[in-house]
C-alpha cells in the first residue's frame, strides 16, 4: 500500500488554433470552517455531490485532498478510510440521479488520529497522481472529470469511544455545493439534508485547457452553457 501524504491542512472552426493549459482548483471548499462536524457511523458510506467551476469537464485530476476530524488522542484499533469518486448516473431518487458508476476507489487504507498525526483535532489527507494510479479502481489519466461528481468516504474499524467525521465548511470559493448529501442505505442511495448544510472540506486541482491564440480567417463562435439543479425542501 502506498504511503499517504499528510498536510495540515467554443466552439469554432478555424484554420489554426493554439491551445494553452491552465492548472488550478476546479473545486475548493477549505476557506470557511462552520465549526460543525458530520460524524460517521462505523462502515457507513456518505457522499457529497459537488459541481466543478464553470460546470464543465476537465482533462485530468492533478491532486485531491479532504479534511477529517477526531476528538480522540488515539484510536482503539486500526481505523481505515475508503474514498470513492462516483458519476451521478445511478437510479433516480426524488427526481435526482444518485451515485452510480465508480471511477476511482482508493480501497481501505489506515488513518491516524489527527492528534497523533499532526497534533491537532483535524488533519488533511492528500492524494497525488501516484495514488490515483493505485487503489481498488484506479483513475484513468485520460478520463475527463465530469462537471458534477459525488465524493464518498467510508470509515471502518471504529470501536469503543472512537469517533471520526468530516468538518463542514461553507461556502465553497471555487465550484458549488447544494448542501444535501447522499447516504448509502444498504446499497440504495438516499438524498438527505440537515438543518445545517453539509459541505465537506475538499479541494480538487486539475489541468484545464483553454483557448489561447486563435487565428481567425472567417467566422468563430463561442458557446457557453449553464446548469440548473435542485433545491431541497
Q: How far apart are CA 17 and CA 81, in angstroms?
A: 44
SS3 state at 48: strand
CA 83 from chain centre, in angstroms, equals 9
Q: What pLDDT, in 10s, does the model give residues 15-63?
A: 444 445 678 999 999 999 999 999 999 999 999 999 999 888 888 999 9
- End-to-end Cα distance, the chain: 43
pLDDT (0 to 100) of residue 194: 86
pLDDT given for residue 78 in this prediction = 96
Ranges of each domain in the chain: 5-215
**Residues 107/153, Cβ–Cβ less than 8 Å:** no
Q: Write down the mean pLDDT value for the chain.
A: 85
CA 37 distance to own-chain centroid: 17
Rounded Cα distance between 202 and 84, Å, is 13
Amino acid at each position: 500500500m502506498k504511503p499517504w501524504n499528510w498536510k495540515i491542512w467554443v466552439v469554432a472552426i478555424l484554420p489554426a488554433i493554439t491551445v494553452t493549459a491552465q492548472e488550478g482548483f476546479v473545486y475548493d471548499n477549505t476557506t470557511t470552517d462552520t465549526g460543525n462536524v458530520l460524524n460517521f457511523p462505523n462502515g457507513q458510506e456518505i457522499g457529497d455531490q459537488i459541481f466543478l467551476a464553470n460546470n464543465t469537464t476537465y482533462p485530468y485530476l492533478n491532486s485531491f485532498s479532504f479534511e477529517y476530524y477526531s476528538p480522540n488522542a488515539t484510536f482503539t484499533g486500526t481505523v481505515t478510510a475508503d474514498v470513492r469518486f462516483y458519476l451521478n448516473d445511478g437510479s433516480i431518487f426524488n427526481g435526482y440521479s444518485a451515485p452510480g458508476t465508480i471511477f476511482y476507489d482508493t480501497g481501505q487504507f489506515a488513518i491516524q488520529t489527527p492528534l497523533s498525526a499532526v497534533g491537532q483535532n483535524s488533519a488533511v489527507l492528500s492524494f497525488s497522481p501516484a495514488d490515483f494510479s493505485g487503489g481498488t479502481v484506479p483513475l484513468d489519466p485520460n478520463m475527463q472529470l465530469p462537471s458534477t461528481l459525488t465524493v464518498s468516504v467510508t470509515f471502518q474499524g471504529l470501536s469503543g469511544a472512537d469517533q471520526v467525521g468530516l468538518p463542514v465548511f461553507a461556502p465553497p470559493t471555487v465550484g458549488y455545493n447544494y448542501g444535501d448529501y447522499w447516504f448509502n442505505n444498504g446499497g440504495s442511495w438516499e438524498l438527505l439534508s440537515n438543518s445545517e448544510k453539509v459541505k465537506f472540506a475538499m479541494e480538487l486541482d486539475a489541468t484545464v485547457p483553454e483557448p489561447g491564440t486563435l487565428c481567425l480567417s472567417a467566422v468563430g463562435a463561442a458557446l457557453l452553457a449553464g446548469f440548473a439543479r435542485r433545491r431541497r425542501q
